[in-house]
Structure 1
Amino acid sequence: MYKFRPISERMDRLHKRVRDRVIQTDSERAMIMTESYKKYGNAVPAIRLPKALYDICANMTLRVEDEDVLVCNMAKNFCGTAVNPNYSGIGWIPYQIRSGAWTLREDGLYHNPDTEEIRMTMAPEDYEAFCSIEEFWKGKTFTDIANSWTPDGYDELARLRCTHAVPGPFFVHLPAGHMTP
């Protein structure tokens, strides 16, 4: 039988770092994408989306960690996450902060409830940045576009749970040509 060798010190450090992470959502990507959409908003999607991707690649913070072999990041913080506002607006976290479900703590960050398994945070300046672009994205997201062409009576069908594709972000994933329960 194969005998595994002991884990290296580097892998042990990386494992602990990822295991103990707190996911921080930042607004950098959303702000870059918003500026790009303001600049190229009248272009057809086949032009607008690649321009937005270029702007993100050209302007986003690139983090290089000490022990990285591959360099790539979705957000500016380690194990951070970003929001693509063209998909469904400013995301769900600002609404959680507004409702009081997330609280500002002594470290200066908003935190999700301790009862949730995955620990997440957002800086107040990122919350303010998301709030500043909220109006711009109303009516312009993929979700808004998809919801605008839902057929008459579809809300009732979704309410009855006859399909998994309900109005909102997940409606975009509806298979073409038929409805999948």
Structure 2
Amino acid sequence: MKNVEHFGDLTPRMNHFREVVLDKKPYIDAQRALLVTEAYEKYKNQTPVMKRAYMLKNILEKMSIYIEDETLIVGNQASSNKDAPIFPEYTMKFVMEELDTFEKRDGDVFYITEETKEALRKIAPFWENNNLRAKGEALLPEEVSVFMETGFLEWKES
């Protein structure tokens, strides 16, 4: 939705860029997840703060960099514009549950290649009880766990 009265009109360059971004199919991108896993596996005996520091170092040193011709400010979390990175250190549960349905969702549709699915399946076991969600669930009192298991309460991922 344009608001020309308030913001003015886009330049031809930015109007073209806007159309390119809007037309691009969004994909699930596993690159960040793979780099995070690599660092967490390599530094598994370090303190949590050091693991996170090595994780960031690994991402900053190895993540793909792309710069589009129309872009004035660069930087992203994924390998290309509009793609969705995966954050396995938070959770892999919903990712694995929706691996074959990302393209079929009513909203927030993402496409995913078979190669990306395989890469995520490969790292999923490492994160099974080794992420923020699992640690949070382990701290829940027994009376809350019962409600979670029966489906009375759900932990919704955003």
Superposition TM-score, scaled by structure 1 size: 0.73
Which range is displaced more, 7-16 or 65-74?
7-16
- What per-residue deviation string (whole Å, max 9, x for no partner) do you get for residues 99-154 of structure 1? xx35xxxxxxxxx12x7344421111111100111111111011111111111201
**Residue equivalent to 2:121:** 131
- What per-residue deviation string (whole Å, max 9, x for no partner) do you get for residues 75-122 of structure 1? 112211110111102652x43344xx35xxxxxxxxx12x73444211
Residue among 17, 31, 36 paired with 2:34:
31
Structure 2 alignment gaps of length 5 or more: none
Residue among 114, 117, 141 paired with 1:151:
141
1:157 CA displacement: 5.3
**Residue equivalent to 2:130:** 140
Q: Sequence identity, in percent? A: 22
Counterpart secondary structure, 2:84: coil
Q: Quick one: which amino acid aligns to residue 31 of structure 2? A: E
Larger Rg: 1
**Quick one: higher RCO (CA 8 Å, sep 6+), 1 or 2?**
2
Cα gap change, 1:7 to 1:71, in 2 (>3 Å): closer
More helix, by proportion: 2
Task: Assess if the C-alpha contact under 8 Å between 1:147 and 1:168 holds in 2.
Answer: no
Q: How far apart, in 2, do the equivalents of 1:43 and 1:8 lie?
A: 50
Structure 1 alignment gaps of length 5 or more: 103-111, 171-181
